């Protein structure tokens, strides 16, 4: 007679085998009733012998109480993202760059994979046992979602076989299959609940439930696509073979992956997947190509936090036609009025869009948009939807021209156009509640003071309740005030106060950025912090000295001096310091000491980031950015469809950098 432990082990092995057949291979080999009998037998034995229960037992998927919040996990190896291409030309450039770097023209073997529209996740296995799951987060630190991920039946709690590394991190995408998403939404609608806009949101919402019992009811799946940490054990030397190894360990891998030869075959794959996109059981937003040989991957390495050996080839933005019902003007932090299109709701690229940006009055005039027009709305990935163009053939006779209001729609102050004309601003300043509220939201935001949990909605609530009028009021909030608010429990109030306390220790660049000085974005704030070293030195600077800072032109220099001239601003700063906001100063570093000092660049063509952002990065490193190419130009940065500037640079023998080479320049400026 086998011992209890032996009986338990045998049952677990059998159940794991049938789980794998059912959930991973979709090929069940015993009737459900037989599986249930095995499962109940194991449950009964574990109930009688609780000392035998282990975390990797198939009975231990849903357990424990709801969490109050997710813990954080620091990724031992950062979870990077992929660079994107949008055309065959850009794909060919990617392939060419690799050949140039390798100094080898031999056609490369790529693994082509669908790019799922889900959430990137890291799974950690120790001695074959699942111990932790974490979201990507910001790539350095993610959220600990172990309890929720355990409930996903197709993710093994113990790897099959025994040839796995002692510590193995597998990365991939958690997603909700389309069929499961439709059923879930039907159920939510029948229960009178809120439905999800698309499978991605449904997957994210399900994985971020604090109660794992709720996650367990959601049809989540995972495809594994990359190795993270692998310690103690040998692995294949090709990416495709690694994926096959994942399968042998019982992990799910997308069945639509192919090995292809060269960039041309990547393009064929892209079209094949594009053609069957609508019929795939999961949502994708493009495909990914990876160099198959891991040795070559290693040789190529990384740039700008993305691998050089992989690229995402995205499907084009999606567009739909709808009617422009009205245009409203939103007032931003600096008083700028942004026209927002109110649209007849339309389903574009997986979400219902009823608002879209119209950018500014110049754009409205250039596109000749009028209220009542039929317009094309475009949505690409996570980008805010925009009105791309007007369908003039369908223009009704009743359309109305859009004009900028003369008074601020929020506070009634006069609206003035900037000298350049494009931006119109409310002149109300701190009198305008919209500007004050936006300034506080900006102050609390992740990239500014990073006050965890203090999102836009809470700022609105605090403001409407009269708890805050200026940013320093945030640090005077008390628990009594917070718990008196609607839907604010003890724990949430404590969390906010703790986050406020944590945010008090910051960096000089974050603090400068959080002040919300007009024309001072993140990169300018950083340049100012590095250049002046302390807030006192920055406050003492005049326009001339400010203009010496890379990234600071006459307009931002004026905005900065004006900001510090206002007594209420300096008062707010001293209040914040008295309330405990602090940072470490830097040793001031003048421009001449910067790595690209003395170099001049020109930017042309279509690039994935705005010219302003690239310019700011270059200037931060001490370079100058000019509008025209001459013999003195150090290099031309050329994106797609570069025209006459490219021709001129070629004729003058000026170096030409593409986007990847630019990324290298920004990371390692001294080497190029
Ligand atoms: O974000 C990603 C999506 C898909 C990826 C990825 C992927 O492979 C199919 N692979 C890697 C290596 C990375 N991100 C960093």
* pLDDT mean across residues, the chain: 91
Tens-digit pLDDT profile for residues 586-640: 887 776 777 888 889 999 887 877 777 788 788 778 788 888 899 889 999 988 7
CA distance 211 to 588: 50
Note the pLDDT of residue 670: 46
C-alpha 80 – ligand 1 centre gap (Å):
8
CA distance 473 to 478: 10
What residues have CB less than 8 Å from 41, skipping those under 6 apart?
A: 11
The stretch 288-299 carries a mean pLDDT of 97
C-alpha 181 – ligand 1 centre gap (Å):
23
What residue ranges in 380-527 does DSSP mark as E strands? 386-390, 400-401, 415-417, 424-426
CA distance 431 to 427: 9
Exposure string of 153-188, with b = 16+ CB inside 10 Å and e = fewer, is bbbbbbbbeeebbebbbbbbbbbbbbebbeebbeee
- Confidence check: pLDDT of 521 > 80: yes
Note the pLDDT of residue 422: 66
What number does the ligand 1 atom closest to the CA of 254 have? 9
Residue 573 phi, psi dihedral angles, 5° rounding: -60, -45
Half-sphere exposure in the Cβ direction for 43 (13 Å, CA) = 9
What number does the ligand 1 atom closest to the CA of 120 have? 1
The stretch 124-138 carries a mean pLDDT of 95
- For residues 262 and 195, which has the higher predicted lDDT (pLDDT)? 262
Residue whose CA is closest, atom 1 of ligand 1? Answer: 81
Helix (H) or strand (E) holding 370: strand 370-371
Taking CB atoms within 8 Å and a gap of at least 24, the contacts of 258-264 are: 258/111, 258/112, 259/109, 259/110, 259/111, 259/112, 259/292, 260/109, 260/110, 260/111, 260/112, 260/289, 261/107, 261/108, 261/109, 261/110, 262/95, 262/107, 262/108, 262/110, 263/91, 263/92, 263/94, 263/95
Structure tokens of 444?
Answer: 């609390």
Question: Could you tell which of 310, 311, 314 is best to mutate to test the pocket of ligand 1, judged by most ligand atoms within 8 Å of the CB?
Answer: 310
Ligand 1 pocket list (CB less than 6 A): 80-82, 113, 115, 120, 225-226, 288, 307, 310
Q: How far apart are the first and last CA of the chain?
A: 73
Structure tokens of 25?
Answer: 């291979």
- Confidence check: pLDDT of 14 > 60: yes
- Confidence check: pLDDT of 348 > 60: yes
Map out the domains of the chain with their CATH numbers. Answer: 4-60 (1.10.287.610), 84-314 (3.30.470.30), 318-401 (2.40.50.140), 429-503 (1.10.150.20), 508-578 (1.10.150.20), 594-667 (3.40.50.10190)
Let me know: does 410 contact 438? Beta carbons within 8 Å.
no
C-alpha 433 – ligand 1 centre gap (Å):
43
> Which band of pLDDT confidence, cut at 50, 70 and 90, is reported for residue 672?
very low
Would you call 115 a catalytic residue per the annotation? yes
What residues have CB less than 8 Å from 136, skipping those under 6 apart?
A: 79, 81, 119, 120, 121, 122, 142
Residue whose CA is closest, atom 8 of ligand 1? Answer: 225
Let me know: does 547 contact 558? Beta carbons within 8 Å.
no
- Confidence check: pLDDT of 97 > 80: yes
Note the pLDDT of residue 671: 36
Query: How open is the CA angle 481-482-483, to the nearest 5 degrees?
Result: 100
CA distance 672 to 658: 13
C-alpha 116 – ligand 1 centre gap (Å):
9
- Confidence check: pLDDT of 523 > 90: no
Tens-digit pLDDT profile for residues 249-259: 999 999 999 99
Tens-digit pLDDT profile for residues 364-400: 998 999 999 999 998 866 568 889 899 999 999 999 9
The stretch 184-194 carries a mean pLDDT of 87
What residues have CB less than 8 Å from 316, skipping those under 6 apart?
A: 86, 380
Cβ-count burial of 100 within 10 angstroms (0-12 exposed, 13-18 middle, 19+ buried)? exposed
CA distance 263 to 95: 6
Residue whose CA is closest, atom 12 of ligand 1? Answer: 226
Rounded to 10°, the helix 88-102/659-667 angle is 50
- Confidence check: pLDDT of 463 > 90: yes
Let me know: does 599 contact 648? Beta carbons within 8 Å.
no
Share above pLDDT 90 across residues of the chain, in percent, rounded to a whole number: 66
CA distance 185 to 222: 20
Question: Could you tell which of 171, 173, 225, 259 is best to mutate to test the pocket of ligand 1, judged by most ligand atoms within 8 Å of the CB?
Answer: 225
C-alpha 547 – ligand 1 centre gap (Å):
42
- Confidence check: pLDDT of 459 > 50: yes
> Which band of pLDDT confidence, cut at 50, 70 and 90, is reported for residue 421?
low
Let me know: does 472 contact 575? Beta carbons within 8 Å.
yes
Whether the model clears a pTM of 0.85, i.e. scores above it, the answer is no
CA distance 534 to 464: 35
């Amino acid at each position: 007679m086998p011992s209890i432990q032996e009986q338990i082990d045998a049952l677990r092995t059998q159940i794991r085998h049938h789980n794998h057949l059912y959930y991973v291979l979709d090929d069940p080999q015993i009737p459900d009733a037989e599986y249930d009998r095995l499962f109940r037998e194991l449950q009964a034995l574990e109930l009688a012998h609780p000392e035998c229960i282990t975390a990797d037992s198939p009975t231990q998927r849903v357990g424990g109480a709801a969490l109050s919040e997710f813990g954080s996990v620091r990724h031992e190896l950062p979870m990077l993202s992929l660079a994107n291409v949008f055309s065959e030309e850009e794909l060919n450039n990617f392939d060419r760059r690799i050949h140039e770097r390798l100094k080898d023209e031999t056609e490369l073997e790529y693994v082509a994979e669908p790019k799922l529209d889900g959430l990137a996740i890291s799974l950690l296995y120790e001695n074959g046992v699942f111990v932790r799951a974490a979201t990507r987060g910001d790539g350095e630190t993610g959220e600990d979602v172990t309890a929720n991920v355990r409930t996903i039946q197709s993710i093994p709690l113990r790897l099959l076989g025994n040839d796995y590394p002692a510590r193995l991190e597998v990365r991939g995408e958690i997603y909700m299959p389309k069929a499961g998403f439709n059923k879930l939404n039907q159920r939510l609608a029948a229960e009178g609940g809120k439905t999800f806009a698309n499978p991605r949101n449904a997957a994210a919402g399900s994985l971020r439930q604090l109660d794992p019992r709720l996650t367990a009811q959601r049809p989540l799946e995972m495809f594994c696509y990359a190795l993270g940490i692998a310690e103690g054990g040998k692995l294949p030397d090709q990416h495709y073979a690694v994926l096959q190894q994942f399968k042998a360990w019982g992990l799910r891998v997308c069945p639509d992956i192919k090995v292809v030869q060269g960039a041309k075959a990547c393009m064929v794959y892209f079209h094949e997947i594009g053609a069957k996109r609508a019929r795939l059981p999961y949502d994708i937003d493009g495909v990914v190509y990876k160099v198959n040989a891991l040795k070559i991957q290693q040789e190529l390495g990384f740039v700008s936090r993305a691998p050089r050996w992989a690229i995402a080839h995205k499907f084009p933005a999606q567009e739909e036609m709808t009617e422009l019902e009205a245009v409203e003007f939103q007032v931003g932090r600096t008083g700028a009025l942004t026209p927002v299109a109110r649209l007849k709701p339309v389903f574009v690229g997986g979400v219902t869009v009823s608002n879209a940006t119209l950018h500014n009055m110049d754009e409205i005039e250039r596109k000749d948009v009028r209220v009542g027009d039929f317009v094309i709305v475009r949505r690409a990935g996570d980008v805010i939807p925009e009105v791309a163009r007007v369908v003039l053939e369908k223009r009704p006779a009743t359309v109305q021209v859009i004009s900028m209001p003369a008074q601020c729609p929020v506070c009634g102050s006069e609206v003035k156009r900037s000298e350049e004309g494009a931006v119109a601003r409310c002149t109300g300043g701190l009198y305008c509640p919209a500007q004050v509220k936006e300034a506080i939201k900006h102050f609390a935001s992740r990239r500014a003071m990073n006050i965890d949990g203090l999102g836009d909605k809470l700022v609105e609530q605090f403001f409407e309740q009269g708890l805050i009028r200026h940013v320093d009021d945030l640090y005077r909030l008390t628990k009594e005030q917070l718990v008196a608010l609607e839907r604010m429990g003890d724990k949430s109030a404590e969390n906010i106060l703790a986050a406020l306390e944590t945010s008090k220790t910051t960096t000089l660049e974050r603090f400068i950025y959080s002040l919300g000085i007009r024309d001072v974005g993140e990169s300018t704030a950083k340049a100012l912090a590095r250049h002046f070293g302390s807030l006192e030195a920055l406050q003492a600077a005049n326009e001339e000295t400010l203009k010496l800072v890379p990234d600071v032109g006459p307009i931002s220099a004026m905005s900065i001096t004006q900001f510090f001239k206002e007594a209420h601003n300096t008062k707010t700063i001293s209040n914040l310091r008295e309330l405990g906001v602090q940072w470490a100063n830097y040793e001031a570093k003048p421009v001449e000491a910067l790595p690209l000092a003395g170099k001049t660049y020109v930017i042309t063509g279509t690039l994935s980031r705005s010219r302003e952002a690239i310019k700011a990065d270059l200037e931060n490193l001490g370079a100058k950015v000019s509008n025209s190419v001459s013999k003195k130009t150090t290099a031309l940065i050329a994106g797609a469809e570069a025209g006459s500037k490219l021709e001129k640079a070629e004729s003058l023998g000026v170096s030409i950098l593409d986007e990847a080479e630019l990324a290298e320049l920004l990371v390692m400026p001294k080497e190029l």
